[in-house]
Amino acid sequence: MAGARRTGLIAALDTADIQEATRWARAVGPHAGAIKLGLEFAYANGLPAVRQVADDAALFLDLKLHDIPNTVAGAMRSLAPVRAAMLTVHASGGRAMIEAARIECDAMPVRPLLLAVTVLTSLDAEALHETGIAGGPRQQVMRLARLALGAGADGLVCSPHEVTMLRDALGAAPVLVVPGVRPAGVEIGDQKRVMTPRQAAAAGADWIVVGRPITRAADPAAAAAAIAAELA
């Protein structure tokens, strides 16, 4: 299984500035299968601007919803006009919350993939332990993955370190979207569970998510092209 699939690049455009996001989207669009906008951009500019920056590109709107089921259902309804290809909730929000999100996804005119964030890639075992989770990221990712898929999620957000484990346990069907990816020699920053694009692809990721290595590069288009070439 590992290596048999084609892994795509999602470019994460984390900025509050519409002009900057638009410039990045145009530059990296030819090299990425989708662009990701998240909390920083959406809070600053609102949902119409999200759609405007994405233009015709496939959009991963990464808002990581985490609230009671009724509130998440309402938020999902508010997101329908954005026509995102992928939306996120936190798997730790629980079964009923994920089920509620799935019902709203099914009702959208453009049906997005519902992705459940397992354990943030910025957390290592020690940080997870501080939140009261004793077993370490792999155990917690597996537990949340089974919960989320059982509740109707189409896929998971996980680090590259869990991809092989998830594929072995869950097969080819779940869409695995993988941040925590750094080309060799690039600053890792706040990410903790990290691999290179090639390693994440070889493990069996459907999508890798890469932000700062692209947006902070002197030439974002060239950086995205180099990562896409590493996946080919």
Ligand X SMILES: O=c1ccn([C@@H]2O[C@H](COP(=O)(O)O)[C@@H](O)[C@H]2O)c(=O)[nH]1
Using CB under 6 A, which residues numbered 30 to 69 contact ligand X?
Answer: 38, 62
Q: Give the Cα separation of 203 and 210 in Å (integer).
A: 16
Q: Please state the separation of Cα 143 from the chain's center in Å.
A: 19
Task: Answer yes or no: 64 catalytic.
Answer: yes
> Is 121 assigned to a binding site?
yes
C-alpha 73/C-alpha 175 separation (Å) is: 22
User: Is 117 near ligand X (CB under 6 A)?
Assistant: yes
Query: Which residue in the set 175, 198, 212, 226 belongs to the binding site for ligand X (CB under 6 A)?
Result: 212
Tell me which of 121, 140, 196, 199 binds ligand X, using CB under 6 A.
121
Q: How far is the CB of 109 from ligand X (least distance, A)?
A: 26
Instruction: Choose the catalytic residue: 17, 56, 62, 192.
Output: 62
26 exposed, middle or buried (CB, 10 Å; 0-12, 13-18, 19+)? middle
Q: Is 12 in the site for ligand X (CB under 6 A)?
A: yes
Euclidean distance between CA atoms 55 and 45, whole angstroms: 15
| Residue 178 in contact with ligand X, rule: CB under 6 A | no
67 is an active site residue = yes
Beta strands in 163-223 (DSSP E): 175-178, 207-210
Helix (H) or strand (E) holding 213: helix 212-215
**191 is an interface residue for ligand X by CB under 6 A:** yes
Assess 92 for contact with ligand X (CB under 6 A).
Answer: no
Residue 17: strand, helix, or coil:
coil
Nearest-angstrom CA–CA distance, 61 and 78: 13
Q: Which range in 49-57, 102-110, 138-146, 204-212 contacts ligand X by CB under 6 A?
A: 204-212
Distances (CA, A) of 128 to 98, 118, 142: 22, 12, 14
Q: Which of 29, 112, 204, 211 binds ligand X (CB under 6 A)?
A: 211
Question: Contacting ligand X (CB under 6 A), which of 73, 208, 209, 231?
Answer: 209
Round to whole Å and give the CA distance between 232 and 226.
10
Kindly state whether residue 157 participates in binding ligand X, applying the rule CB under 6 A. Answer: yes
| Residues in touch with ligand X (CB under 6 A) | 12, 14, 38, 62, 117, 120-121, 157, 179-180, 191, 209-212
The residues carrying an active-site annotation are: 62, 64, 67
Annotated binding site for substrate: 14, 36, 62-71, 121, 182, 191, 211-212
